[in-house]
Amino acid sequence: SEAKVGEQQQIQNKKLSQPAIFIPVDRSPEIQEARLKLPVLAEEQVIMEAVRENPCVVICGETGSGKTTQVPQFLYEAGYASGSGIIGITEPRRVAAVSMSHRVAKEMNLSTRVVSYQIRYEGNVTDETKIKFMTDGVLLKEIQKDFLLQRYSVIIIDEAHERSVYTDILIGLLSRIVPLRNKKGMPMKLLVMSATLRVEDFTDNQKLFRTPPPVIKVDARQFPVTIHFNKRTPLEDYTGEAFHKTCKIHRMLPPGGILVFLTGQAEVHSLCRRLRKAFPFRKGNTTTDEEADTSEAMRKFKKAKQKKTSLPRIDLDNYSALPVDEGDEDREAGIGDEDDEGSDLDIGDDPGDAEEKADPSIPLYVLPLYSLLAPEQQAKVFRPSPPGTRLCVVATNVAETSLTIPGIKYVVDCGRVKKRFYDRVTGVSSFKVTWTSQASANQRAGRAGRTEPGHCYRLYSSAVFGDFSLFSEAEITRRPVEDLVLQMKDLNIDKVVNFPFPTPPSAEALVAAEQLLVSLGALKEPPRTGRVKEMEQARLSCPITPLGRAMASFPVAPRYAKMLALGKQQDCLPYVISVVAAMTVREIFVDLDRPAGSEDESSKLTQRRARLTQMRRLWAGQGASLLLGDLMVMLGAVGACEFAGCTPKFCEENGLRYKAMVEIRRLRGQLTNAVNAVCPEVGAFVDPKMAPPTEHQVVCLRQIVLAGLGDHLARRVQAEDILDPKWKNGYKTPLMDDPVFIHPTSALFKTLPEFVVYQEIMETTKMYMRGVSAVEAEWVPELLPQYCHFGPPLESPQPWFCSSSGTVRCHRSSTFFRVGWQLPAVEM
């Protein structure tokens, strides 16, 4: 049409007005036509001028306005990848890095050798690569290798509004790298792209940029979206509510794609299943579950015959460390995206589908979408749905801003999001489903108005919406920072407190992190003499140790990373890897404590409970292995499940969450690779038929666990000290005033060992320790010297750094931490 030709001419003119080199791109007419509709194209000249004149530029534009796919192309055409430097784009989500690189390669008619991606352990980058999409964690690792990022002429930080921890850190680092590069005569540009206008944390931040970078707003064409609130808000079964709403839309409303927002992978699959059943698209090709030889697996993993030997000791100084200047593995710093931590607590068939039998004449083309979905599966959402069908995408919040799905007219929003939470008392993070923010809810609604006016159905009331927070907080303020501090120390940023964070974590959180890392041996102990002020300073700028570098390369929290680093001793590595994997994946056992819905379910539950109790007892073993406690149960479960081929049937029968077991399997592979990268001589491999550990090895495992979870030590209150009955069978922890308890389902509930370490504390009817393992008192001063006071108890014990290796070690007695528990004497 005329208007289009005019627009094209205009753009052509803009190109001509650019003084810089122009690298031609050979796009197909269809692609060219589609591009011209994108709002960001109208701003190309403004953007490129700003980039030429400023070291840093911020671009804000609605999701779908073309930022991710087009801005790298603008830069390419303007010659930013024509020299030795390439264009790098970071994404907080793997799914976006992979799919956007494919899309841009296709639009530019270039091979994936030129437009490539790199995510943890996977990528297609070559020497010819000019545009590289990657996850933020990957770029962070590259900065560690080359602080100046000399391979790049431009870095684009995409999805900055998500405020992911690594994005925040990257912006902080790049605010220093860019001026440094310019000073050295190797100019570099930084672009920060956000889907919201809330960018003050980056722009009005003196610590970050002395002159505020220009902000370019891309006006997106947005059609009106009518918002429909629910009258009431379902508190529990929002997946069911989403199902009913989707069915209604499909049956009663005019054509147009439906996009449903849920919180996690498990929910997505469950809803997809229900929808496909209600509106069959084609005969389902149900796969029969592989038959598992359950009984053999159990027999195999029963406690092996063990001979009595003297107790072995692990050696704290015998850890896997990185060879100097080596270890080229590329990984993301964290594990998984938030929406991948499924918590699939629904067992059995979903109720209430019968009344939703609908007119199957218009099939519903149901597609799942979440981060870890295989790329071929993800790509399906961008392709036109089969003729005569209605597209229905069931997604996690990846569809909120990272990916734009064409043809969506209806959005169904559950109003929730799965987030990582951190409990300051237990010190362990967890995933919880909470209300999303108003900004996110509006982003979700906006997905319905990309191509024509649309509708958004919110499965909650307007009153509830009014109570949502306006924006989501930066992730960095609501999560533990020890892993992040370790990553930064690994980048040789010793004074983390001085780092220009867009939103800084609390000083308190940074201090706690530094102390934990010192006691784990990941950071050098600060000096204990000198002026008070200098000592204070030193305490907050401890450099990393070789052990710390090895730990930083394992994609798990530092406590677990320490266990992995010590794991190679006494051939314990496969067990340590399995235990760490099981502890990292939440909820490997199905929740049998929840109340039953019906009488029928109740008897089923009772049966399953009995079965699981029996299995737990079997996995825990007896004698020596029993003392590894709940971690032995986890190890037994992993071993037995793997032996049975990790089938859904085995998991169902034995009260294990199938998804969790699959995740553990994936993680075991990943952790094994990570350990091999650090310590190739170990030659670790994943053995599906792993034999149970020997008695000897179980003792070592308990010590390794103690070395990692040292700050989670608890001691049973002695009978003579019990003045208040609430302390009966209670344990004292160093930091809490109230007693904590061993849960009745724990393998150690009847044993009540004097000293235990725990994975986390959960408050239900009482404060319960979870993941409990027994430790011997005499191991404590040896394996946790950082937490002990040696010699006669001090008058006023100082909480930290009172011991050191070397001089003060041969003492008659030792006491633990502030609590001053008397520990056996150590002979050095």
90 is a contact residue toward Mg ion (CB under 5 A): no
Choose one: 67-75, 335-343, 432-440, 741-749; the region binding Mg ion (CB under 5 A). 67-75
Give CA 395 to chain center in angstroms. Answer: 18
Contacts of 336 (CB under 8 A, 6+ apart): 371, 372
**In angstroms, what is the minimal distance from the CB of 111 to ligand ADP?**
16
| Rounded Cα–Cα distance for residues 515 and 812 (Å) | 26
Choose from ligand ADP, Mg ion, none: what does 66 bind? Cβ within 5-8 Å by kind: ligand ADP
Nearer to Mg ion, 399 or 640 (CB): 399
Q: Is 74 or 80 the residue whose CB approaches ligand ADP more closely?
A: 74
Give the nearer residue to ligand ADP in terms of CB position, either 404 or 426.
404
Least CB distance from residue 407 to ligand ADP, whole Å? 9
Min dist. Cβ of residue 38 to ligand ADP (A): 6
Binding site for ligand ADP (CB under 6 A): 38, 61, 63-70, 99, 103, 382, 404, 406
Considering the complex, state which of residue 135 and residue 670 has its C-beta at the smaller distance from Mg ion: 135
Nearer to Mg ion among residue 68 and residue 815 (C-beta): 68
Judged by beta carbon, residue 443 or residue 647, the one nearer Mg ion is 443
The rounded distance, in Å, linking the Cα atoms of 160 and 193 is: 6
What is the Cα–Cα distance from 402 to 135, expressed in whole angstroms? 12
Q: For residue 694, give the DSSP letter.
A: P
* Tokens encoding 781: 């001063």
Of these partners, Mg ion, ligand ADP, none, which one is at the site of residue 69 (CB under 5 to 8 Å by kind)?
ligand ADP
For residue 367, the SS3 value is strand
Give the end-to-end CA distance of the chain in Å, rounded to a whole number.
88
- Cα 786 to Cα 515: distance, rounded to the nearest angstrom: 10
Degrees (nearest 5) of the Cα angle 688, 692, 696?
Answer: 140
Nearby residues of 32 by Cβ (< 8 Å), 6 or more positions away: none
256 binds, among Mg ion, ligand ADP, none (CB under 5 to 8 A by kind): none
Find the binding residues for Mg ion in span 704-723 (CB under 5 A): none
Q: How far is the CB of 69 from Mg ion (least distance, A)?
A: 8
Give the residue with the Cβ less far from ligand ADP, 98 or 572.
Answer: 98
Partner from ligand ADP, Mg ion, none binding residue 500, C-beta < 5-8 Å depending on class: none
The β-bridge partners of 157 are: 90, 192
Report the nearest approach of Mg ion to the CB of residue 67 (Å).
5
CB closer to ligand ADP out of 396 and 570: 396
Answer yes or no whether residue 815 interacts with Mg ion by CB under 5 A: no
CB 290 within 8 A of CB 649: yes
**CA–CA distance from 2 to each of 6, 12, 45, 452 (Å)?**
6, 15, 22, 22
Rounded Cα distance between 505 and 485, Å, is 11
Instruction: Centre a 10 Å sphere on the Cβ of residue 64 and count the other Cβ atoms it contains.
Output: 26
Q: How far is the CB of 194 from Mg ion (least distance, A)?
A: 10
* Residue 521 contact among Mg ion, ligand ADP, none, beta carbon within 5 to 8 Å by kind: none
Kindly tell me the burial class for residue 792, based on how many C-beta atoms sit within 10 Å of its own C-beta (0-12, 13-18, 19 or more): exposed
For ligand ADP, the closer of residues 402 and 569 by Cβ is: 402
Residue 13 Cβ vs ligand ADP, minimum distance, rounded to whole Å: 23
User: With contact defined as beta carbons under 8 Å apart, do 90 and 158 qualify?
Assistant: yes
What is the C-alpha radius of gyration for the chain, rounded to an integer number of angstroms? Answer: 28
224 vs 410, 448, 451, CA distance in Å? Answer: 12, 9, 10
797 binds, among ligand ADP, Mg ion, none (CB under 5 to 8 A by kind): none
| CA 482 to chain centroid | 15
Q: What share of the chain is helix, strand, coil (3-state, %, to 5)?
A: 40, 15, 45
Closer to ligand ADP at the Cβ: 40 or 788? 40
Q: Could you say which of 68, 118, 569, 786 contacts Mg ion (CB under 5 A)?
A: 68
Cβ closest to ligand ADP, residue 68 vs residue 578: 68
Nearer to ligand ADP, 143 or 215 (CB): 215
406 binds, among ligand ADP, Mg ion, none (CB under 5 to 8 A by kind): ligand ADP
Residue 175's binding partner out of Mg ion, ligand ADP, none, with CB under 5 to 8 Å set by partner kind: none
Stretch that binds Mg ion, among 60-68, 86-94, 265-273, 756-764 (CB under 5 A): 60-68
Q: Which is nearer to Mg ion, 68 or 378 (CB)?
A: 68
Place of tokens 């094994």: 672
DSSP string, 123-152: E---TT-SEEEEEHHHHHHHHHH-TT-TTE
Pairing state between β 189-194 and 122-123: unpaired
Tell me if 672 contacts Mg ion by CB under 5 A: no
Closest distance between ligand ADP and the C-beta of residue 46, in Å?
Answer: 16
CB of 443 to ligand ADP, least distance (A): 10
Q: Answer yes or no whether residue 515 interacts with Mg ion by CB under 5 A.
A: no
Angle at 819 between CA 817 and CA 823, to 5 degrees: 70
User: With respect to Mg ion, which residue has the nearer C-beta, 102 or 479?
Assistant: 102
Q: Shortest gap between Cβ of 246 and ligand ADP (angstroms)?
A: 21
Residue 70 as a binder of Mg ion (CB under 5 A): the answer is no
Residue 103 touches which of ligand ADP, Mg ion, none (Cβ within 5-8 Å per kind): ligand ADP
Which one of ligand ADP, Mg ion, none interacts with residue 99, CB within 5 to 8 A by kind?
ligand ADP
- CB neighbours of 387 closer than 8 A, spacing ≥ 6? none
CB neighbour class for 535 (10 Å; exposed up to 12, middle 13-18, buried from 19): middle
**By C-beta, is 66 or 574 nearer to ligand ADP?**
66
Q: Choose between 100 and 700: whose C-beta lies nearer to ligand ADP.
A: 100
Q: Is 65 in the site for Mg ion (CB under 5 A)?
A: no
- The nearest distance, CB 151 to ligand ADP, in angstroms, is 24
Q: What are phi and psi of 644, to 5 degrees?
A: -80, 5
Instruction: Select 95 or 297, whichever has its Cβ closest to ligand ADP.
Output: 95
443 near Mg ion (CB under 5 A)? no
Which of ligand ADP, Mg ion, none interacts with 668 (beta carbon under 5 to 8 A by kind)? none
Min separation Cβ 68 and ligand ADP, Å: 3
Q: What gap in Å lies between CA 689 and CA 682, rounded to an integer? A: 19
Over 37-49, what HEC string results? Answer: CCHHHHHHHHHHH
Provide the minimum distance between the beta carbon of 227 and ligand ADP in the complex, in angstroms, as a whole number: 21
Query: CB 397 → ligand ADP: shortest distance, Å?
Result: 14
Question: Residue 189 binds which entry of Mg ion, ligand ADP, none, with Cβ cut-offs from 5 to 8 Å by kind?
Answer: none
**Nearest position to Mg ion, beta carbon:** 68
Q: Which does 64 bind (CB under 5 to 8 A by kind): Mg ion, ligand ADP, none?
A: ligand ADP
Q: Where are the beta strands (DSSP E) in 22-85?
A: 56-61
Q: Which amino acid type is present at position 408?
A: I
Q: Compute how many residues bind Mg ion; rule: CB under 5 A.
A: 1
Q: Cβ 8 to ligand ADP, closest distance in Å?
A: 18
Determine, following the binding rule CB under 5 A, whether residue 397 of this chain makes contact with Mg ion: no
Q: Which does 759 bind (CB under 5 to 8 A by kind): Mg ion, ligand ADP, none?
A: none
Q: Which does 570 bind (CB under 5 to 8 A by kind): Mg ion, ligand ADP, none?
A: none
DSSP per position, 517-584? HHHTTSBPPPPSSS-HHHHHHHHT-PPBPHHHHHHHTSSS-HHHHHHHHHTTGGG-HHHHHHHHHHHH
Cα–Cα distance, 620 to 200 (Å, whole number): 54
* Cα within 13 Å of Cα(320), Cβ side: 30
Interacting residue ranges for Mg ion, rule: CB under 5 A:
68
